[in-house]
Amino acid sequence: MIDSDLIPQIHRRAYEIWESEGRPHGRDKIHWLVAEAELNNGDRVTTAETSKPKRKSRSVSSTRT
């Protein structure tokens, strides 16, 4: 259950996330859950971390002859 004192803060943070992603349609629940998790855990997750799967970086060798 959500602490009722956190609801306005979650709403504001979810709105910030929505705006930072360019105001996409249909991601309101994800934004809410991310904002809720951030406030409950005391940390902020960037929207880039929530919207894109993590990829392993590949090292590119530039050995040309």
Contact 13, 38 (CB under 8 A): yes
With cut-offs at 50, 70 and 90, classify the pLDDT of residue 24. very high
Distance CA 45, CA 54 (A): 14
Number of domains in the chain: 1
Domain that holds residue 11: 7-50
- Mean pLDDT of the region 5-21: 96
Between the CA atoms of 55, 61, 62 and 65, what dihedral angle is there, to the nearest 10 degrees? -150
Per-residue pLDDT at 28: 95
Residue 63 lies in a domain: no
CA atoms within 13 A of residue 17's CA, in its CB half-sphere = 28
Residue 61 lies in a domain: no
pTM for this structure?
Answer: 0.62
Q: Could you say which DSSP state residue 23 is in?
A: -
Distance CA 36, CA 8 (A): 11
